[in-house]
Structure 1
Amino acid sequence: MYDYCVIGGGIVGVATAREILRRHPDASLLLLEKAGSLGFHQTGHNSGVIHSGIYYEPGSLKAELSRRGAEATKAFAAEHNILFDVRGKLLVATNPVEHARMVALYERSKVNGLDVEVIDRAELIRREPAVTGTGALFVPTTGIVDYRRITDVLADSVRAAGGEIKLGVEVVGITESTDGVAIDSLEESWSATQLVVCAGLQADRMARLAGIAVDFQIIPFRGEYYELPEHRSKLVHHLIYPIPDPDLPFLGVHLSPTADGKLTVGPNAVLGLAREKYRKFGFDGRDVWEYLRFRGFYSVARANMRTGMGEMRDSLSKRGYLARCRKYCPELTRGDLLPREAGIRAQAVLRDGTLVHDFMIERTPRSVHVLNAPSPAATSALPIAEMIADKLGQPRRS
């Protein structure tokens, strides 16, 4: 019998395990991860941005936790000599509609208490000669880091504190009782007084496995990236983002320097044919069949038909993808777009078709389930871990 078990070895799960052992250093803890390495899925397939929180609804968990998380991530990276770079981000407006959205976004940033500067076209070109637009918002606190490296260092802390981490373990059974929780894999079984589930792309399935009546489903969206050739890696210094459409859950195709010196373009947002297959046209019949049977999927499809068709077209055509980038960086060419592995976002959708934008956490007497943790979950992982630990009881020996 362990005091705590954590299912999920992404950055949120590993950060939670570390936070539990920080608070209860004598507790026994087991972390289970299905993949063969930690941070393999969403943690290891994102653009590595330390988000500031400018986009998020004032008062939402995203707004609060991304602001706290950005500070905590930078402090953790500095403490453990993990390379990070705070370059700042430019959100570029390219037409009158986007300019109006930019002004509204600036007002939201003030409500969220962020340091944001409005710059005009001339100042934008002065700072980034390869970028064009009618103006931009400059967010100086945005940075870049390798979240998989942070996850590995967090895991080192878990092991140093006596926690056990088992990889390649697929959980197939969760049974909660008044005394604890039984966790079963195909090969082994364990018991814990309390359970935390940070399953990401499998969050809905793990919740149903535990007997929780969930009214949502995870629908996968592929985020496809390109990488610029080495001689173009200094094309921009800052992170360059478009002004997002407030009616869409995704931020749009952006130029992102990475912590290892590369420059990436992306991601788009294409309906995925699998939750955990990253190659183009990767297919999993179970994943597709589940969302085709889900009523909420059709509501999302109807509401976003035009956008979805555009995303699919640009996924199939490098020319279309390039046109989206050239709106704010016109000197990019088709030859600049080199292949890079895609990411897959776990998008929670309610039965009525509502996209869940904020973090969503469910508590039972013996468990905590992180049901929705989209971007900026990596940025927010450390304060999310604190919030989860607050919901847990004391270890049985206390």
Structure 2
Amino acid sequence: MRDVVVVGGGIVGLATAYEVLRRRPGADVLVVEKEAEVARHQTGHNSGVIHAGVYYEPGSLKARFCREGAAATREYCTEKRIPFSDTGKLVVATNPVEVQRLEQLTTRARTNGLAVTPVSGGELREREPHVTGEAALHVHATGITDYPAVCRALASDVAGAGGEVRTSTAVTAIAEGPASVTLTLSRDGWESPESARLVIVCGGLQADRLAAMSGLNSGADAFQIVPFRGEYYRLPASRNDLIDALIYPVPDPGLPFLGVHLTRMVDGGITVGPNAVLGLSREGYRKGSVDVRDLATYVGFPGMWRVARTHWRTGLAEQRDSWRRSGYLRLVQRYCPELTVDDLLPEEAGIRAQAVLRDGTLVHDFLVRRTDRTVHVCNAPSPAATSAFPIARHVVDLATAAA
């Protein structure tokens, strides 16, 4: 019998296995990942940003873990010689309404203990000659890194500490007893049981289905993972000197998305995105991808219809801009007017796993549920990559208490 099985080979799952072995050297730890490689979904399809924690509700897990996680990420990258850069970020307001929201964001950032500096429109022009706005907020602690490289290093550390990372292995059932949990694992068409004293599930885009296997996703507390495609473009190499800091719009406080931004990547290139388009497939990254099972699952979920009634105008606008590069471009031209349609080159999309409750509430904070011998990370979208190390500590604390 294993001591711990961790389900999910994204950054949260791997950081959790690493934390277990850090606390209990020699523990028998298995990580199972259904894909052929680690970091194949949310971790490997994001902007690579080390977030500072500006946007999150003071006192929330996101606010706390993001700040702690940014420091831990830099420390780990330094130790493993993984490239990262402290670029800083400018949140740019382009109209009076956004200026007012920016003032509120400044207050929140300072409440969260962050060093931020208000920037006037003129100062913004001096800092970033290609960016325009009425005002901006400089967030000093924002950076960029290579999260798939972090995952590869974590997988190596887990194996080096005596754990096992088993890819191409899916979980098809979870049966919990008084002293252990038995997982049914599927690999190459064959099923086999694997027992452990504790199971920690970091399932990302499949979190709701895995939680349901443990009896944690039914009744009034039910949640559904709704996939939102985040579509990106990359600027041509001739535009690599366009910005110094990362450039973000002021987000809509009613939505859990940060808006289309310009990100300088660790390879020196600049990406544009993401938007937030309702996905018809949880793991279909090509435009137009449809998975009938995924679609049927959330079409039949009452919370999804409540979300649609509340946000249908935003949804239609996002869908329109997804199919028309000119519409997408307008989102960026609000703060970087010199970019043209020809500057938007293809880049792989990402998919955000957004938990929605039965009453239609979009879950804004990290959400963790547990049974006596399982802990499930049910909602861990951005900034989960930044926050992975403190999330792991929190989850292992809960798992230890559960046992």
Does TM, normalized by the shorter one, top 0.5? yes
Corresponding position of 2:318: 311
SS of residue matched to 1:59: coil
**How far apart, in 2, do the equivalents of 1:392 and 1:360 lie?**
15
**How far apart, in 1, do the equivalents of 2:346 and 2:178 lie?**
51
Q: Is the 8 A contact 1:133 1:328 kept in 2?
A: yes
- 1:90 partnered with 2:97: no
Q: Is the 8 A contact 1:4 1:395 kept in 2?
A: no
Instruction: Give the deviation of 1:213 after TM superposition.
Output: 3.3
User: Which is worse superposed, 207-216 or 312-321?
Assistant: 207-216
**Cα RMSD (Å) of the superposition?**
1.1
**How far apart, in 2, do the equivalents of 1:394 and 1:379 lie?**
25
**How far apart, in 1, do the equivalents of 2:197 and 2:329 lie?**
52
Corresponding position of 1:105: 105
Cα deviations by residue, 1:160-183 (Å, 9 ceiling, x for unpaired): 000011100111011000010001
Q: Is the 8 A contact 1:84 1:146 kept in 2?
A: yes
Cα deviations by residue, 1:278-314 (Å, 9 ceiling, x for unpaired): 0001110000001110001111001001111110010
Corresponding position of 1:358: 365
> Which of 182, 194, 210 matches 1:190?
194
SS of residue matched to 1:252: coil
User: Which is worse superposed, 386-395 or 57-66?
Assistant: 386-395
Percent same amino acid among aligned pairs?
56
Corresponding position of 2:125: 125
1:1-398 to structure 2, matched below 5 A, reads 1-186=1-186, 187=190, 188-214=192-218, 215-393=222-400
**How far apart, in 2, do the equivalents of 1:267 and 1:365 lie?**
38
SS of residue matched to 2:296: helix
Q: Is the 8 A contact 1:204 1:217 kept in 2?
A: yes
**How far apart, in 2, do the equivalents of 1:394 and 1:357 lie?**
25
**How far apart, in 1, do the equivalents of 2:113 and 2:166 lie?**
41
Q: What amino acid is aligned across from residue 215 of structure 2 in structure 1?
A: G
Q: What amino acid is aligned across from residue 375 of structure 1 in structure 2?
A: S
Cα deviations by residue, 1:138-181 (Å, 9 ceiling, x for unpaired): 00110000001001101111000000111001110110000100
**How far apart, in 1, do the equivalents of 2:332 and 2:399 lie?**
45
Q: Is the 8 A contact 1:24 1:395 kept in 2?
A: no
Aligned residues: 396
Q: Is the 8 A contact 1:8 1:33 kept in 2?
A: yes
**How far apart, in 2, do the equivalents of 1:393 and 1:303 lie?**
40
**How far apart, in 1, do the equivalents of 2:139 and 2:402 lie?**
42
**How far apart, in 1, do the equivalents of 2:109 and 2:234 lie?**
30
Q: Is the 8 A contact 1:27 1:395 kept in 2?
A: no
**How far apart, in 2, do the equivalents of 1:133 and 1:374 lie?**
29
**How far apart, in 1, do the equivalents of 2:216 and 2:401 lie?**
23
SS of residue matched to 1:378: helix
Q: Is the 8 A contact 1:4 1:194 kept in 2?
A: yes
Cα deviations by residue, 1:92-132 (Å, 9 ceiling, x for unpaired): 00000000000010011111111000010111000000000
**How far apart, in 2, do the equivalents of 1:213 and 1:152 lie?**
31
Q: Is the 8 A contact 2:216 2:370 kept in 1?
A: no
Q: Which runs of 4+ in 1 moved over 3 A?
A: none
SS of residue matched to 2:263: strand
**How far apart, in 1, do the equivalents of 2:278 and 2:16 lie?**
30
Instruction: Give the deviation of 1:392 after TM superposition.
Output: 2.3
Instruction: Give the deviation of 1:395 after TM superposition.
Output: 12
Cα deviations by residue, 1:357-398 (Å, 9 ceiling, x for unpaired): 0001012111110000010000000011111111223999xx
**How far apart, in 2, do the equivalents of 1:14 and 1:249 lie?**
25
**How far apart, in 2, do the equivalents of 1:303 and 1:216 lie?**
17
**How far apart, in 2, do the equivalents of 1:294 and 1:20 lie?**
35
Q: Against the structure 1 CA distance between its residues 95 and 364, is the aligned structure 2 distance closer, same or farther, given a 3 Å change threshold?
A: same
SS of residue matched to 1:341: coil
